A and B are shown apart, each in its own frame.
Chain A
Amino acid sequence: MTIEANIPTLPPLSAQSGNLRPILEWLARRAEPVAISLGAILAGLALFSIFITVVGKSPIDLFKLMYTGGFGSWFSIQNSLSRAAPLLLTALCVALPARLGLVIIGGEGAVVLGGVAAAAAALPLTGSVSPIIVLPVMAIAGMIMGGIWIGMVGVLRHYRGVNETIASLLMAYIAIALMNHFIEGPLRDPASLNKPSTTPLPADYMLGNIPGMDVNWGLVIGILACIVSWILIEATSFGFAARIAGGNVRAAQIQGLPVGRLIVGFTALAGSFAGLAGMVEVAAVQGSANASLAAGYGYTGILVAFLARHNPLAIIPVAILLGGIDASGGLIQRRMGLPDATVLVLQGTLFVVILFCETFYGRFKIFNPDLWKRTA
């Protein structure tokens, strides 16, 4: 005797056109991350609104200002894009190792040392070598330095079992101390009296703006890096091996995957992107390496990576969203009299809620076609 359960059924296959069901299945699977992420963002915004109301301000005003400041005019959009540009690269520094199951939060260290390396590499070359060569050399120097820095974390993790989260954080603090030491000591430009910096890049050596926009080329570099990373992870065997190892390192080792090479390779690549962000900051914004390199891009990148669920393509819109939130921070401060920490509270709330919503994956039947019943 069979027991019939009352599960909603789809019409039998024979009653449908042959194409509909697979499309629905495809949609359902794809919809899950989008729906849950959107739901999480909305929930986070709702919680934040409650907080703002309790503080005595109007959440509606706040969101309107956030929109105005972030996306409400061409100026605002460019503001958001400018702030998003470094985040694209520093988020990759977190997202790439995360696919391997490693949580690396010390990207800030790679950013500052990459910037110092880029500035140092430019020192002997400016004036005698054309910018077309100097800029790529700076980029390579920044990437190598950043790659070594985070790669070391990977090496320590694989060969000594040191927890990579804590190690990368310690390395970030050490990096900032090293940066200060070099900028105020051996690499200091004697003319930079009151703000120790390396020798400034001449104007024609700077990485300029995208034509027609007030945003520097770092944005394009970041987007390209995200696309390259996505291709690497989704379409190469190296990336495929990484995704497997990320699921279970021991199983991967047993299967003979080169886990050591994966870990070091990915962490070095991650660090090189962060180092590149440092180079862009030097070549496109500051013109020299100085203490302003430690601007927190590395730490905001952590948030971007987790919000994007470590998907390099998703990093692009998330970085722009966070750039917009950051961009509106100043307006919120000036118009509503709220402290600049308001933006931090919003980011923290979103972060917690998004991470919490990870638990909803696989819980809703509607997103899992395997659980849909089919009557014969």
Chain B
Amino acid sequence: MEGIGIWGVPLAIFAGAIRVSTPFIFVSLGESITERSGRINLGLEGTLVFGAMTAYAVAVMSNSPWLGVLAAMATGAVFGLIHGFICKFPKVNDIAIGIAMMQFGLGLAFFLGKPFIQPVAPHLPSIALGGWSSSPQIQSALNINVLFIIGALLAVALWWAFKNTRVGLILRVVGDSSDAARAMGLNPDTARLLATAVGGSLAAVGGAYLSLFYPGSWNEGISSGQGLMAVALVIFARWNPIGCFLAALLFGGAGALGPALQSVGVTQGYYLFYAAPYVLTLVILVVTSSPTRSLAGAPGALSITK
């Protein structure tokens, strides 16, 4: 295979954007639903890791990766339900609960996942969109996982749904003001509960991708904070699902930068490159936030924007 030299960098960013971004896509889409309803769920990191563990374990035991994904969705929904249930009580700080659920989810995932570090699980399939190219690198880069495509479609579907469907409207009303929702005869708590459950479910799918496709292995270091970063991405994307998708791609590309640069000889200070995604997110947050105007487009009932 011929090396591709300096083209390796943009190709790696492109391929990395697709590969690394998929968990971010799912977690941020899930969190965008939750936050649109007026609740913030910081526990998605725990849900993601638990989903990764569940998907891997079920895939090992049943030899079907898709069954693993379904199982992960179920456990993600349960985590979301717990979070949503606890948060509806007065005086409960939902940011703190999120952190607590994260620790609980991580601990439980590591505990139950111990027997599954060694076995190998079947991987999720991918679609080879690169068949037109003779270059193996491009073929590999365009070897796109099915979940990425589902994520892209989901982003568009959610964007349309928020604007045009009744469920989307309910979500937005509940998210803007509990009082207005009650005046309309809606129960904000139930809506938020369901939104959090759906959010957790999607986050768990993101975790399933990590363990069943890329990097495709279960161990305790599987996540490097994707769940928490995705929450930041949602704010950056202004709760717009398509914005979440694009932001996830950006973040994925930034994550692939370090190794790609090393492979073409840029080896100085590689730790600083590894910090690139976090710096990028922080800079974007700083630039797009404002102390006086509340964040444009923020759901009114969201606790962090008050």
Contact = CB atoms under 8 A, between A and B. Distances in A.
Interface of A: 103, 105, 156, 158-163, 165-167, 169-171, 173-174, 177-178, 180-181, 184-185, 299, 302-303, 306, 338-339, 341-349, 351-352, 355-356, 358-359, 361-362
Most A Cβ at <10 Å: residue of B229, B289, B290: B289
Contacts of B286: 156, 160, 162
Interface string B151-188: 00000000000000000000000000000000000000
B99 A347 contact: no
B111 A173 contact: no
Contacts of A346: 107
B193 interface: no
Interface string B8-30: 00000000000000000000000
Interface string B220-249: 000001001101100100000000000000
A306 B100 contact: yes
Given A170-B232, A345-B107, A356 B275 contact: no
A170 B233 CA distance: 12
Nearest to B113: A341
B111 A345 contact: yes
Interface size grouping (class) on chain B: 35 or more
B105 A166 contact: no
Contacts of B132: none
Interface string B255-280: 00000000000000101101100110
Nearest to B305: A163
A166 B286 CA distance: 11
A197 B144 CA distance: 41
A343 B106 CA distance: 11
B100 A352 contact: yes
A192 to B, nearest CB: 17
Given A171-B282, A174-B278, A352-B100, A341 B114 contact: yes
A355 B107 contact: no
B96 A166 contact: no
Nearest to A166: B232
A184 B46 CA distance: 31
Contacts of A105: 99
Nearest to A175: B275
Contact of A348 (B107, B272, B278, B285): B107
B275 A177 contact: yes
B115 to A, nearest CB: 9
Given A303-B103, A339-B111, A356 B92 contact: yes
Among A180, A184, A343, A358, chain B packs the most CB atoms within 10 A around the CB of A358
Given A171-B282, A174-B279, A177-B271, A352 B95 contact: no
B86 to A, nearest CB: 5
A94 B102 CA distance: 17
B129 interface: no
Nearest to A340: B110
B93 interface: yes
B93 to A, nearest CB: 7
A54 to B, nearest CB: 11
B89 interface: yes
B99 A302 contact: yes
Given A341-B114, A344-B107, 11 more contacts: A162-B286, A167-B282, A169-B228, A342-B107, A347-B107, A352-B101, A352-B104, A355-B92, A358-B91, A358-B93, A359-B91
